[in-house]
Structure 1
Amino acid sequence: MQETILIAYKNIQQVREPKYFKTWITRILINECNKLRKTQTKIVMMDRYLEPATSEQREVFVDLQTAIDGLEPDLRTVITLYYYEDLSVKEIGAILDIAAGTVKSRLNRARAKLNSLLEGHQFEGRVLHE
């Protein structure tokens, strides 16, 4: 995050339209994350661990995060942007420079793979494919 903010601050003049600022800075963040991933550096998000959670909640989170981490990079990226960053299909397409239809198909493929990876696990009282 710090690198993203620094890069954005130094290059703010490159943003031609203020309405594209979120897309521009998100793209910088993705590029920085990809650089970190290439160096195999692990980053632990501490804010997720500040709230006390039950052991069942921790287990579900670990299972889900492990399943997401097991996806191919293109599928993992669209799932993360859609569900964690709350971006629309159109915004994700703009950030990744792909068509909205491609984003939708990647989301569907990612959901199907996650569903098969998490088969039989319980989430909030619901069982996925027993």
Structure 2
Amino acid sequence: MTEIELAEKAIRGDDQAFLQLISENKEALYRTALAYLKNEEDALDAVQEVTMRAYEKIKTLRMPEYAKTWLIRIMMNHCRDILQRRKRYVLEETVFDMEGISDDFTYLEVEEALRHLSENDRQLVHLKYLHDIKIKDIADMTSTPEGTVKTRLYKAVKSLRLFFEGKEENRLDGRGKKIEEVERGN
């Protein structure tokens, strides 16, 4: 049975279909929770909470083809709520596959770069590059025109690229000298 068929049955009240839908998406939900919460126990709790929330609201899912996106969105909102209560915001240790951004930066540098983006832009980058969700689906999910999503993603990636280019120019070797100075023999 396809995910769309499962979602349609779950919307009509089929508990088994709902459980199978959750089962097929539990890894994506867990990864999302872990990305936000940075703690395995908290992530597992979040998956349970989101499962309950989704079960209670499954009849509000208007487009069954976006069931996975809908579930991830619920998880992201839940995690943001948790983090707001804790007064901190962190993202998953991930190397994003974006052209022009070297993957030899540390987790902390990636996290620092992402903190320079607005929360909405971080969310777009997270959806597009971590979950590989299509721009059209992101646009539908956020009720934003596709062109706007593309523009915001372009600007976010450009901002990250500029951040990393600045970092690359100022990287130090083990003795505190700029790498470019070491290469020139200074």
User: TM-score over 0.5 for the alignment?
Assistant: yes
Q: Rg: which structure is higher? A: 2
Please list, as runs of the form range in 1=range in 2, the aligned pairs for 1:13-28 lying within 5 A after superposition: 13-28=59-74
One of 91, 114, 117 as aligned partner of 1:68? 114
Aligned to 2:168: 121
Aligned to 2:32: none
Given that 1:27 and 1:96 are in contact with CA atoms closer than 8 Å, whether structure 2 keeps it comes out as no
Aligned to 1:35: 81
Number of residue pairs aligned between Structure 1 and Structure 2: 113
Percent identity between matched residues is 28
Gaps of 5+ in 2: 1-45, 94-102, 170-179, 181-186
Gaps of 5+ in 1: 49-56, 123-129
TM superposition outliers: structure 1 runs of 4+ over 6 Å = none
More off after superposition, 75-84 vs 63-72: 63-72
Per-residue CA shift, 1:36-56, capped at 9, x if unaligned? 2322255686xx6xxxxxxxx
More off after superposition, 6-15 vs 58-67: 58-67
Given that 2:91 and 2:111 are in contact with CA atoms closer than 8 Å, whether structure 1 keeps it comes out as no
The SS at the match of 1:86 is coil
Please list, as runs of the form range in 1=range in 2, the aligned pairs for 1:103-114 lying within 5 A after superposition: 103-114=149-160
TM-score by length of 1: 0.72
Distance 1:43-1:104 versus aligned 2 partners, 3 A rule: closer
Aligned to 2:124: 78
User: Using the alignment, how far apart are the partners of 2:127 and 2:91 within structure 1?
Assistant: 18
Given that 1:79 and 1:107 are in contact with CA atoms closer than 8 Å, whether structure 2 keeps it comes out as yes
Amino acid of the structure 2 residue aligned with 1:121: E
User: Using the alignment, how far apart are the partners of 1:58 and 1:10 within structure 2?
Assistant: 44
Given that 2:121 and 2:156 are in contact with CA atoms closer than 8 Å, whether structure 1 keeps it comes out as yes
